[in-house]
C-alpha cells in the first residue's frame, strides 16, 4: 500500500509537476479524452463465455439487449492451450471456464446474428492467439464484414502468462515473435482493432499490490515496444492500438491513483521513445473488478465490494469495465447474477451523475499526492527490473515470481491474523449463510458435440488444401520474416482446426513447461507474533514427534488449470508450519502424480482446482492411484468447489475440502486431524 498521511494540504501538491494538466492533454494523467464520459461513458463490457458457441451467443445477445455495450469472450482452457476438444489432455476441461472453439465454424456460430461491424469484441487469448485471431477475421469475412470494419481487442499479452496466468504454449522468445506478428499484421489490415491488451489484472489476482501490478505491466509493455520497434514499425503507426488492462481491488484510493499514474508513465515512456502523436501517447484501458476479493462466505457482500471497485475504476478514468458477478467465488455466474453485475455499471452511468465531470478527483491534495507516490514507487520497481537486465531476465531469475508470491503471502498472513479485515471471513462471521444457486454446465454434453463437429468438419473439408496450408505454416515458423498470422489465416480458411494449427507450429517451436515453486519462510515470519500460529505449529510439531519425521505433503495442479496463487500460498503455509512440501508442475497428469508419489513417502496429497473440472479430474486421479493410496494418504482438495459437489468428492475418497476463505490454521488443523486418524488406523 502507498503510505498515507492522516490529512493532506496544499503543501503536499505544490511541487507536483502535472497538477495543472487537463484531461485529454499530455501526459494524460487526468484522462485520455477532454470530455471523458460526458462525450462517451466507458464501455460496459462483461467477460462472458461458457459451454458451446450457441450458449455463449445467446448470452452475448442477452447482454447486448440488457445494456451491455461491447462483447468480451472467455474461452475454455483447452482453447487457450491450443488443444482441440477431442484431444486426450483436454477432456475434463472442455467448456468449463469459457466457450470451446475448435474451428472457424465454431467462431461463426459464436457471433451468429451479431453485426461485427458495429459491436466491438474483446477476445482474451494469448497462447493460441494465432488461430483464434485468424478464425475471428475469417468469420468476419465470411459473414460479409471487411477487415477494416472489425473493431475490438485481442489480449495478445504472452509475457504475463509466464509470470502468472500460465496459459502459454510456446517458450517466451517464439511467443514474443508471435505477439509482434499479430501487432504488425493488425496494424496494417485491421486498423480499428486493438492489437494488445497489456494486462496487470492477473498480477493483482496472483497477489501483487497496485504498484507492483503497474510496474510489471509497464515492464512488459516496454518489452513489446522493443520487439515491435525492432521490426522498424513506427510508434505513431501502432501504439494507439496497444491498450491496457488493470484489476481494481478494494484498496480504493490506491486503485484510482494507480490508473492516473499509469497514463502518466505510459506517456513518458512513448515520448522518450520518440512518439509524436497524442493518440500514440494516450493510454486507453479496460478494468475488471477483483475476482480475488470475492468471498464464498456471504456472497451477497460481493455486490458491495464490486460496486466500490467499479467506482474506483471509473474515478480512475477507465475506457471499458467488467464488473464481477457476486457468485463467482462459488461458480460461473448465473443469468441473474450476471444481470446484477451489468446493472451495477448501468446504475453508475445513468443514476449517479458520475459521468458529468472528467477526473473528479483532480486537484484533491490526497489524490494528486498519492498519484505521484504511486508513480515514484513504480519507477523504482522499473529501475530494479532494468538493473536485473530487463523483464525477461527478471522473469528467468525468479525475481518476478518472488515479488508477486511474497506479496500474496503477506496478504494471506494478514488475513489469517486478522489485520486485513474481510467481513464475513475473518470478522463478523455469520453462521446463517444462504448459498445462492449456481450455474451448472453439462460439459460432457458439450464435449460430445464438439467431438462430433470436429469429425464432420474433417469429413467435409478439402484435406489436401488443409495439409498444404499447415505445411506452409510450419515452414513460416522456421522463417523469421514470415508473418505467422497471415499463414494461420490461410490454414483456418481452409478449415484447419485450432489444434492442428498449434501442432503445425509445434513442429518448429516446442511446448513450454515451467517449473513450480513456492517461497519458504516468509509466511511464518509474518505471523511470528501470533499465538494462534504458534499453537498450530505446536500441533504439527507434536504430530512430527509421533511420526518420527516431518509430515510430508505433495500438492498438485491437475488438468489445464493454471491458477497457482492458492496452491503456492498453501505450500508456503504448510512448509512454515513444519511440513515437508513439494508441488507438482502445472498441468500434471494422474500418471505423473503417481510417479511423484512413488518417489517419496508422502503422508498427504493436496489437489488444487479452480477450473470447475474437479469431479472428473479427482476421480481420474484417485482411480489411477488406487484404494491403497487413498487409504494411506490424507487427500484434500482446495479451490472453487460448490457445496453440492463435496459429497461426491468424499465418496471418491477425499478426506477434506477447502473452498476459498479457509484460514491457514483451519486447513492445517483439519489436515493434521485427518493424518492422525489415518496413521492410527
Ligand atoms: C471514447 N472515444 C472518445 C471518447 N471516448 N472520443 C472522444 N472523447 C471521448 N470521451 C472514442 C475512442 O477513441 C474510440 O475511437 C471509440 O470512441 C471507442 O472508445 P474506446 O475508448 O476505444 O472504447 P472501446 O472500444 O470499448 O475500447 C476500450 C479499450 C479496448 C481500448 C480499453 O482495448 C477494450 O475494450 N478492452 C477490453 C479488454 C477486455 O475485455 N478484456 C477482458 C479480459 P477510435 O477507436 O477510433 O480511437 C478478461 C480477463 O483476462 C479475465 C481474467 C482471466 O481470464 O484470467
Peptide bond into 27 cis (omega under 30): yes
Tell me if 245 CB under 6 Å of ligand 1: yes
Tell me if 73 CB under 6 Å of ligand 1: no
Probe target for ligand 1 pocket from 132, 278, 319, with the most ligand atoms within 8 Å of CB: 319
Tell me if 243 CB under 6 Å of ligand 1: yes
Task: Give the closest residue (by CA) to ligand 1 atom 15.
Answer: 192
Ligand 1: centre distance to CA 468 (Å): 38
| Neighbouring C-alpha atoms within 13 Å toward the C-beta of 129 | 33
Task: Give the closest residue (by CA) to ligand 1 atom 52.
Answer: 202
Task: Give the closest residue (by CA) to ligand 1 atom 7.
Answer: 33
How far apart, in whole angstroms, are the C-alpha atoms of residue 531 and residue 525? 13
How far apart, in whole angstroms, are the C-alpha atoms of residue 509 and residue 169? 9
Nearest atom within ligand 1 for CA of residue 194: 33
CB atoms inside a 10 Å sphere around CB 426? 18
Ligand 1: centre distance to CA 126 (Å): 18
- Contact of 219 with 394, CB cutoff 8 Å: yes
Q: How far is CA 637 from CA 95, 554, 555, 622, in A?
A: 21, 12, 9, 12
Q: What is the pLDDT of residue 337?
A: 95
Q: Report, in this order, helix, strand and coil percent for the chain, each rounded to 5.
A: 55, 10, 35
Residues 6+ apart with CB under 8 A from 528: none
H-assigned helices in 352-478: 365-387, 391-397, 399-416, 443-460, 463-478
Ligand 1: centre distance to CA 658 (Å): 38
Tell me if 160 CB under 6 Å of ligand 1: no
Q: What is the pLDDT of residue 515?
A: 84
Nearest atom within ligand 1 for CA of residue 318: 32
Catalytic residues: 47, 201-202, 557, 561, 563
658, β-bridge pairs:
638
Q: What is the pLDDT of residue 19?
A: 78
For 344, the grid coordinates are 451495477
Ligand 1: centre distance to CA 43 (Å): 7
SS3 of residue 100 by DSSP: coil
Q: How far is CA 578 from CA 407, 581, 607, in A?
A: 21, 9, 19
Nearest atom within ligand 1 for CA of residue 98: 54
Q: What is the pLDDT of residue 433?
A: 67
Tell me if 197 CB under 6 Å of ligand 1: yes
SS3 of residue 454 by DSSP: helix
- Name residue, grid cell 474483446: 122
Nearest atom within ligand 1 for CA of residue 120: 25
Tell me if 124 CB under 6 Å of ligand 1: yes
User: Which of 196, 241, 188 has the alpha carbon at shortest distance from 220?
Assistant: 196
Ligand 1: centre distance to CA 243 (Å): 8
Ligand 1: centre distance to CA 488 (Å): 26
How far apart, in whole angstroms, are the C-alpha atoms of residue 539 and residue 676? 11
Task: Give the closest residue (by CA) to ligand 1 atom 10.
Answer: 36
How far apart, in whole angstroms, are the C-alpha atoms of residue 121 and residue 126? 15
SS3 of residue 584 by DSSP: coil
Tell me if 70 CB under 6 Å of ligand 1: yes
How far apart, in whole angstroms, are the C-alpha atoms of residue 333 and residue 542? 44
Give the E-state strand segments of 131-264 in sequence order.
152-154, 193-194, 196-199, 242-248
Tell me if 47 CB under 6 Å of ligand 1: yes
Q: How far is CA 210 from CA 251, 375, 601, in A?
A: 8, 11, 41
At 680, which helix (H) or strand (E)? helix 664-680
- Phi-psi bin for 96: left (phi > 0), alpha (psi -120 to 50), beta? alpha
User: Which of 355, 243, 310, 320 has the alpha carbon at shortest distance from 43?
Assistant: 320
pLDDT tens digits along 422-432:
999 999 998 76
DSSP state of 592: H
Tell me if 320 CB under 6 Å of ligand 1: yes
ipTM of the prediction: 0.99
Given a cut of 70, the residues of the chain with pLDDT beneath it are 432-433
Q: What is the pLDDT of residue 3?
A: 85
Q: What is the pLDDT of residue 661?
A: 83
Nearest atom within ligand 1 for CA of residue 70: 26
User: Which of 170, 150, 152, 153 has the alpha carbon at shortest distance from 161?
Assistant: 170
Q: What is the pLDDT of residue 482?
A: 98
Amino acid at each position: 500500500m502507498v503510505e498515507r498521511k492522516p490529512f493532506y494540504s496544499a503543501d503536499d501538491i505544490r511541487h507536483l509537476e502535472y497538477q495543472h494538466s487537463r484531461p485529454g492533454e499530455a501526459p494524460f494523467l487526468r484522462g485520455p479524452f477532454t470530455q471523458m464520459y460526458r462525450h462517451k461513458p466507458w464501455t460496459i463490457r462483461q467477460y462472458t463465455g461458457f459451454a458451446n458457441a450457441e450458449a455463449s451467443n445467446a448470452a452475448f445477445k442477452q447482454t447486448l439487449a440488457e445494456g451491455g455495450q461491447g462483447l468480451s469472450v472467455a474461452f475454455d482452457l483447452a482453447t487457450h492451450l491450443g488443444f482441440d476438444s477431442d484431444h486426450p489432455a483436454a477432456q475434463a476441461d472442455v467448456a468449463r471456464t469459457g466457450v470451446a472453439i475448435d474451428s472457424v465454424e465454431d467462431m461463426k456460430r459464436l457471433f451468429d446474428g451479431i453485426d461485427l461491424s458495429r459491436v466491438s469484441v474483446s477476445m482474451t487469448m494469448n497462447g493460441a492467439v494465432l488461430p483464434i485471431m485468424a478464425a475471428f477475421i475469417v468469420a468476419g469475412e465470411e459473414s460479409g464484414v471487411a477487415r477494416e470494419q472489425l473493431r475490438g481487442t485481442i489480449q495478445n499479452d504472452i509475457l504475463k502468462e509466464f509470470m502468472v496466468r500460465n496459459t502459454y504454449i510456446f517458450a517466451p522468445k517464439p511467443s514474443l515473435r508471435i505477439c509482434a506478428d499479430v501487432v504488425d499484421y493488425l496494424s496494417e489490415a485491421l486498423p480499428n482493432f486493438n492489437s494488445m491488451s497489456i494486462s496487470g489484472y492477473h498480477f493483482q489476482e496472483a497477489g501483487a499490490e497496485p504498484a507492483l501490478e503497474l510496474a510489471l505491466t509497464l515492464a512488459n509493455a516496454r518489452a513489446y515496444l522493443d520487439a515491435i520497434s525492432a521490426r522498424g514499425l513506427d510508434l505513431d503507426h501502432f501504439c494507439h492500438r496497444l491498450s491496457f488492462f488493470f484489476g481494481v481491488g478494494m484498496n480504493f484510493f490506491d486503485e484510482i491513483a494507480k490508473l492516473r499514474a499509469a497514463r502518466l508513465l505510459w506517456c513518458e515512456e512513448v515520448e522518450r521513445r520518440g512518439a509524436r502523436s497524442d493518440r500514440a501517447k494516450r493510454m486507453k484501458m479496460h478494468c475488471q473488478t477483483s475476482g480475488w476479493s470475492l468471498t464464498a462466505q456471504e456472497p451477497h457482500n460481493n455486490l458491495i465490494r464490486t460496486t466500490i471497485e467499479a467506482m474506483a475504476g471509473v474515478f480512475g478514468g477507465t475506457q471499458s469495465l467488467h464488473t464481477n458477478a457476486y457468485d463467482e467465488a462459488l461458480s460461473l455466474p448465473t443469468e441473474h447474477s450476471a444481470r446484477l453485475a451489468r446493472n451495477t455499471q448501468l446504475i453508475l452511468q445513468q443514476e449517479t451523475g458520475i459521468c458529468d465531470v472528467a477526473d473528479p478527483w483532480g486537484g484533491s491534495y490526497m489524490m494528486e499526492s498519492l498519484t505521484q507516490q504511486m508513480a515514484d514507487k513504480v519507477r523504482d520497481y522499473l529501475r530494479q527490473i532494468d538493473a536485473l537486465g530487463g523483464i525477461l531476465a527478471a522473469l528467468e531469475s525468479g525475481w518476478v515470481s518472488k515479488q508477486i508470491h511474497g506479496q500474496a503471502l503477506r496478504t494471506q498472513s494478514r488475513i489469517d491474523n486478522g489485520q486485513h479485515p474481510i467481513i464475513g471471513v475473518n470478522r463478523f462471521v455469520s453462521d446463517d449463510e444462504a448459498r445462492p444457486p449456481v450455474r451448472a454446465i453439462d460439459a460432457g454434453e458439450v464435449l460430445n458435440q464438439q467431438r462430433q463437429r470436429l469429425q464432420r468438419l474433417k469429413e467435409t473439408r478439402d484435406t489436401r488444401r488443409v495439409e498444404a496450408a499447415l505445411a506452409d505454416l510450419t515452414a513460416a515458423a522456421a522463417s523469421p520474416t514470415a508473418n505467422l498470422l497471415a499463414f494461420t489465416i490461410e490454414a483456418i480458411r481452409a478449415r484447419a482446426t485450432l489444434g492442428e494449427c498449434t501442432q503445425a507450429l509445434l513442429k518448429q517451436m516446442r511446448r513450454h513447461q515451467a517449473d513450480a515453486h513456492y517461497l519458504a519462510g516468509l509466511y511464518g515470519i509474518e505471523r511470528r507474533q501470533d499465538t494462534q500460529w504458534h499453537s498450530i505449529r505446536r500441533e504439527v510439531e507434536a504430530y512430527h514427534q509421533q511420526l518420527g519425521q516431518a509430515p510430508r505433503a505433495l500438492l498438485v495442479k491437475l488438468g489445464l488449470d493454471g491458477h497457482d496463487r492458492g496452491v503456492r500460498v498453501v505450500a508456503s503455509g504448510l512448509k512454515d508450519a513444519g511440513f515437508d512440501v513439494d508441488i507438482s508442475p502445472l498441468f500434471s497428469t494422474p500418471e505423473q502424480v503417481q510417479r511423484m508419489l512413488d518417489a517419496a513417502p508422502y503422508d498427504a496429497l493436496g489437489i488444487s482446482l479452480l477450473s470447475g473440472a474437479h469431479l472428473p479430474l479427482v476421480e481420474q486421479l484417485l482411480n489411477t492411484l488406487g484404494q491403497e493410496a487413498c487409504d494411506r494418504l490424507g487427500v484434500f482438495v482446495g479451490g472453487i468447489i460448490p457445496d453440492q459437489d463435496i459429497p461426491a468428492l468424499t465418496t471418491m475418497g477425499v478426506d477434506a475440502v477447502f473452498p476459498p476463505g479457509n484460514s491457514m490454521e483451519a486447513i492445517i488443523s483439519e489436515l493434521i486431524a485427518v493424518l492422525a486418524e489415518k496413521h492410527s488406523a
